[in-house]
Amino acid sequence: MDISIRLKTIASMVDKCEVLVDVGTDHAYIPIYLVKKQICDKAIASDINKGPVEKARLNVAMEGLKEKIQCRLGGGFSTVRTSEVDVVVIAGMGGNLIRDIILEHENVFKNLQYAVLQPVQNPEVLREFIYKKGYEILDEELCFEDEKYYQIIKVKFNNKPVNIKEIYYEVGQKLIEKKHPLLKDFLIHLVNKYKKILNLIKDDTELAKKRKIQISHKLKELEELISCL
């Protein structure tokens, strides 16, 4: 089974494990890929919607993996028991939703060896939560597909909250540390995005002025990061 660049990048961050749960699995592509590559012994493909679970079951059956991959219907971690799985992948949803899924069953999440998270928007919301709630960022990846950049974050609970510059909520510190090959283009993309937003703010209210100051500050920090590469 051939999978997308985004899914391959997510899968590349999963180390050898016994049981993985893919929350919001859609077609079960990641569990199938990881089990076939013998990275995971077993997997649970979980989704809140019946349609994707049925598609997942069909794909699992077609790949001859019914003994290795269970497909379960339910939201978030409601489909697994504490300590039933070692690793979770939560991909393809917003940073706010990923944060809420973690909070809803944090007792399960904290017991994992690690988690691989891929927010499609609002990564800054998710990273702020990660740092402030005592999770360690083990690694980060970046990929580009279908004209979009995707950030992938690998975390584990260590009960050590961290105060960090806000710019690192938006752009992963690990990406900067390892001078990721896509980083400069990604930073330029963010600069262009915020310049457009700044130009669209035409109001002269106090709220608008405050927003302009915030964006201008963010632009300055992004441009400083670019100059250091």
C-beta of residue 90 within 8 angstroms of C-beta of residue 23: yes
C-beta of residue 5 within 8 angstroms of C-beta of residue 29: no
26 and 84 in a single domain? The answer is: yes
47 and 122 in a single domain? The answer is: yes
Write down the pLDDT at residue 204. Answer: 82
User: Nearest-5° angle of CA 10, CA 15, CA 19?
Assistant: 95
The whole-chain average pLDDT of the chain stands at 95
Write down the pLDDT at residue 75. Answer: 94
96 and 206 in a single domain? The answer is: no
90 and 27 in a single domain? The answer is: yes
220 and 142 in a single domain? The answer is: no
Write down the pLDDT at residue 15. Answer: 96
How would you class 147 by CB atoms within 10 Å of its CB: exposed for 0-12, middle for 13-18, buried for 19 or more? exposed
DSSP annotation of 137 reads E
Tell me the C-alpha distance between 90 and 115, whole Å. Answer: 8
Write down the pLDDT at residue 182. Answer: 97
Residue 106's Cβ-side half-sphere holds a number of Cα atoms within 13 Å equal to 10
Write down the pLDDT at residue 54. Answer: 96
Write down the pLDDT at residue 128. Answer: 96
Quick: pLDDT tens for 156-187.
999 999 999 999 999 999 999 999 999 999 99
Give residue 153's domain range. 5-161
> How far lies 7's CA from each of 30, 31, 118, in Å?
7, 10, 10
190 and 156 in a single domain? The answer is: no
Residue 93's Cβ-side half-sphere holds a number of Cα atoms within 13 Å equal to 21
16 and 47 in a single domain? The answer is: yes
C-beta of residue 222 within 8 angstroms of C-beta of residue 167: yes
pTM of structure: 0.94
Domain count, the chain: 2
Write down the pLDDT at residue 209. Answer: 86
84 and 49 in a single domain? The answer is: yes
Tell me the C-alpha distance between 73 and 166, whole Å. Answer: 37
Residue 207 within any structural domain of the chain: yes
Residue 169 within any structural domain of the chain: no
Write down the pLDDT at residue 82. Answer: 83
Tell me the C-alpha distance between 23 and 92, whole Å. Answer: 10
Low-confidence ranges of the chain (pLDDT < 70): none
Residue 179 within any structural domain of the chain: no
Tokens of 36: 């076939």
55 and 91 in a single domain? The answer is: yes
Residue 147 within any structural domain of the chain: yes
Residue 178 within any structural domain of the chain: no
Residue 175 within any structural domain of the chain: no
Write down the pLDDT at residue 43. Answer: 98
86 and 127 in a single domain? The answer is: yes
CATH number at 94 reads: 3.40.50.150
**Largest pairwise CA distance in the chain:** 62
